[in-house]
Amino acid sequence: MANRAGVQPTPRKASAPRKTSAPRKASAPRATSAAVAGSAGDRHVVPNPEGGWDVTAPHAGRASEHTDTQAEAISRAQEIIRSTGGKIAIYKRDGTIRGNDTNSVG
């Protein structure tokens, strides 16, 4: 049967039978959603559109700290992750990542 444009549809190929696989081996326990999402102590150092720099938690609606310089923001973010553990992502004014820092507690 032709479609509206008068073109005959191409016939579908028959699919090959599925191969049965061997029973699966027991795998390592899955990571919890908290481990996948990152640490609660993670922080981002980002430029504030009105000037200065903000220290924010990922996906946070507002900054946890505002500073005049990027160096001050990095220092404050390091203080936060020193007590909680986590990672810092440091952004440039153009939105690209300049660098990062990590600290684990324990």
Rounded distance between C-alpha atoms, residue 76 and residue 45, angstroms: 9
- Listed by start position, the domains of the chain span 38-101
Rounded distance between C-alpha atoms, residue 18 and residue 33, angstroms: 33
pLDDT tens track for 91-101? 999 999 999 88
Q: How confident is the model at residue 34 (pLDDT cuts 50, 70, 90)?
A: very low
Rounded distance between C-alpha atoms, residue 52 and residue 40, angstroms: 24
Strand-strand pairing, 65-67 and 53-56: antiparallel
Q: How confident is the model at residue 20 (pLDDT cuts 50, 70, 90)?
A: low
3-state secondary structure 56-92: ECCCCCCCCEEECCHHHHHHHHHHHHHHHCEEEEEEC
Higher pLDDT, 106 or 40: 40
